[in-house]
Amino acid sequence: MHKDLEKILFTQEQIHDRVIKLGKQITDDYAGKEIVTVGILKGAIVFFADLMREIKLPVRFDFMAASSYGASTKTSGTVRILKDIDTDIENKHVIIVEDIIDSGLTLKYLKQNFEHRKAASVKLCAMLNKPDGRRTDIYGDYIGFDVPDEFIVGYGLDYASAYRNLPYIGILKKEIYA
Ligand code: PRP
Ligand code: MN
Ligand code: MG
């Protein structure tokens, strides 16, 4: 385990098993439909790459970069779009792929944004869900695991840009950001 972590919540193997199941669920739910998956940079990139290989349907990828935490452990409350998608999603079935839903501000903003572009449907898929952090009425349609109200890193999730490449998910020691 990385020395800056207090505890591992999910091992590489547990993550892998869960991602396979999410992929199967999406494959069953979207049979016969055209999917556009939108990964939200940067945090979602690791989960996105793993999940896509478990969806056994034709999928088109796109990416959007959104940031609201920066180098802080608390959301700034403002979602900044740093890069937009370049796919026309009108009448397409969109699945937004995120690493974590915490306050829900990022996904609420993005979901509304996609609905305005007249997508046929917009669903939310997140590897992690932190129910105690919620400040909006946003719920994920596909969730990997629920996590406690702690600062989580690994498998794409960062603190000040570090730890994204850890292959497991864990709780960051408080002394690192206190
Ligand atoms: C993090 C995370 C989600 C969002 C979740 O992104 O990757 O996108 O915050 O938090 P919320 O539900 O409170 O909005 P961040 O702003 O840290 O950007 P990053 O993905 O580039 O790390
Ligand atoms: Mn993010
Ligand atoms: Mg971040």
**Annotation marks residue 102 as catalytic:** yes
Strand order in the sheet with 169-172: 5-10, 169-172, 152-153
ipTM, two decimals: 0.97
Alpha helices in 30-134 (DSSP H): 45-52, 105-116
Q: What is the pLDDT of residues 2-27, one digit of tens each?
A: 999 999 999 999 999 999 999 999 99
**Which ligand has its closest atom nearest to the C-alpha of 101?**
1
This prediction's pTM? 0.96
Q: Which residues are registered as beta bridge partners of 146?
A: 129
Residue 28, in any domain of the structure: yes
Question: Which residues span the domain enclosing 63?
Answer: 11-150
CATH number at residue 101: 3.40.50.2020
**Which ligand has its closest atom nearest to the C-alpha of 126?**
1
CB count in 10 Å sphere of residue 1:
10
- Of these residues, 4, 102, 137, 149, which one is catalytic? 102
- Per-residue b or e along 19-30, where b marks 16 or more CB atoms closer than 10 Å to that residue's CB: beebbeebeeeb
Q: Using a 6 Å cutoff on CB, does residue 105 contact ligand 1?
A: yes
